[in-house]
Structure 1
């Protein structure tokens, strides 16, 4: 029998979200129903509400989640009822050209559930990032469930998006290694996770850049060795001064704006690497002198989900947390209910929280 549950729905561009009845079907072949225990409030959910991703309203928001598998459909052997899982939006296919070449983190044919979840009147919902987890139960492709050791779901769920995106931007995409200098522009949840990743990888100098003194203080807590307040000084000049006049080996842009991307481009050393992990909106454009692109060498990369492989990376990061080597708890600013998501968006925009986490 289908499940009737409560979930957070965005019905129109910019309109306040509301808690509504959601009908979740029984899992079909290759699908799983997950009872959601916790889900982080990510800036991408706000992008969905604002129409910055697409216009396929109504959206069932939420995607940064952990919970317990309730039921599975035919042919599912990745997980079983009772498994504690972190949800991911990159369920790799194992068959496309990227997967066959041994690069499944670039999979070109990732899976979501085939059946839609619906409102009580039958209207099909578009689940955020193919998940939709601001809801008591959600339907996903079984490959979107990564089994991990059972820990606090409020911290485990953060691996499902923001923390993984940031750590992966440093470790997987940026290739940060021992002794590197790293600058991170934008010190929200993803940027701070990039700082954590750089520290785990053994970076020698980690420079946090933001316009908010509060966020720079958070960045120090996560391992930044230096801070630059972009509201007060020239970012490029400051980063170069802190790196012997050269620029950083790796610059991670975690804002997703043309002006901060340009700062990242010029704040890197010759042959250095720029990693874009901040999410831009569709209309944004960046212009750079082609001669500078050629003459500076190095690499300009984008990091989509931290180039992660959930089956490899999620269990490893949960283990690091359990060992006390990864401060996931530090990302949780508050624990809230489903009815508090709209105000959580407002606090996020005001820069008052790293992560609000919905507890179910």
Structure 2
């Protein structure tokens, strides 16, 4: 029997999101039904609403969520009803060529629920990143529901389902930040500050935050930035070089995803340094770099998908860091809002007024 729930829907491109009644089916084979307790408001949800991700409207928005497993479908032995979970938008299949080569973070057949959630008139919905968690309940594949310590507050725990994991993993997994490194992070939103926190936890000697907003730079120091550069009126490349004896950073993380920030990061590296792009670029972004510089500077240019994470391994680790006081997930939560305040949260996010708004149900 389908469950009638309230949920936030983007009906058409650029139209305001609206709360509607949604029908969520009972879980089938390999699926779990999750009662959502909290869900972060991420830029990706706004990209869906704007039609920048695709045109498969209507979209069921929300994907950065924590909640309780209410029911499981046939064949599901983990998680179980009553388990406290964080939802992941990638669930490695274990069978594709990437998984078989021991690189499940590149899985080419990530799992989602097979049954559609629908509007009251049976119109099928496209769930954001295969989750759709701006809803009282949602249906996902069992592998997307990662069991974590229930002591973690849901409004904080849910954030590791996307932005925190992306930034943390960009530094630790993709960038390989280690003790004694110098790290520069371009863009001090949720993803960038997660990368700053991760670099600090990994033992980086210097962590340089780069942004155009002094308030965001002040916040970055709370997460472990040792130096700040406002690139609005300063040459960020020269500033980072000045802080590193003229050499540049060992690892640079572009958490913005624009051609100009990528170019900054490219030249901000030390020779043979690593540049990690974790900010998602727009479809129109283009890059123009002298190929001789790409060759001559050496090092590595990497893209980080979801922080190159394995959710079943990494989510519990980040929750443990949070509960031990080493990773302040709560500091990422600027405000909590209701389902019908998502549009207001989008506006605050665009204006740079929040680090994260979180819908609490």
Bin the TM-score by the shorter chain.
over 0.9
* d(CA) in 1 for partners of 2:283, 2:129: 16
Partner of 2:17: 17
Partner of 1:59: 59
Partner of 2:47: 47
* d(CA) in 2 for partners of 1:102, 1:4: 40
How does 1:88-127 map onto structure 2 within 5 Å? 88-127=88-127
Partner of 1:73: 73
For structure 1, the 5+ residue unaligned runs are: none
Contact 1:53 1:281 in 2 (8 A): no
Cα deviation for residue 78 of structure 1 reads 1.7
Contact 1:176 1:203 in 2 (8 A): yes
Contact 1:333 1:355 in 2 (8 A): yes
DSSP-derived class of the 1:271 partner: strand
DSSP-derived class of the 1:116 partner: coil
DSSP-derived class of the 1:79 partner: coil
Partner of 2:269: 268
My pick for the range that moved more, 219-228 or 98-107, is 98-107
* d(CA) in 2 for partners of 1:349, 1:226: 25
DSSP-derived class of the 2:69 partner: strand
Cα deviation for residue 281 of structure 1 reads 1.5
DSSP-derived class of the 2:334 partner: strand
Contact 1:38 1:358 in 2 (8 A): yes
Cα deviation for residue 14 of structure 1 reads 1.1
Partner of 2:315: 314
Partner of 1:327: 328
How does 1:285-324 map onto structure 2 within 5 Å? 285-324=286-325
Partner of 1:356: 357
Cα deviation for residue 97 of structure 1 reads 1.1
Task: Render the CA deviation track for 1:166-198: whole Å, top value 9, x for unaligned.
Answer: 000000000000010000000000000000010
Deviating above 3 A after TM superposition, structure 1's stretches of 4 or more consecutive aligned residues are none
Task: Render the CA deviation track for 1:254-277: whole Å, top value 9, x for unaligned.
Answer: 001111111000100100000000
* d(CA) in 1 for partners of 2:109, 2:125: 21
Q: Does 1:250 align with 2:221?
A: no
TM-score (normalised: structure 2): 0.99
For structure 2, the 5+ residue unaligned runs are: none
Partner of 1:340: 341
RMSD: 0.6
* d(CA) in 2 for partners of 1:230, 1:162: 23
DSSP-derived class of the 1:114 partner: coil
How does 1:124-203 map onto structure 2 within 5 Å? 124-150=124-150, 151-203=152-204
TM-score (normalised: structure 1): 0.99
Contact 1:98 1:107 in 2 (8 A): yes
Partner of 1:7: 7
DSSP-derived class of the 1:56 partner: coil
Contact 1:178 1:202 in 2 (8 A): yes
Partner of 1:206: 207
* d(CA) in 1 for partners of 2:21, 2:341: 16
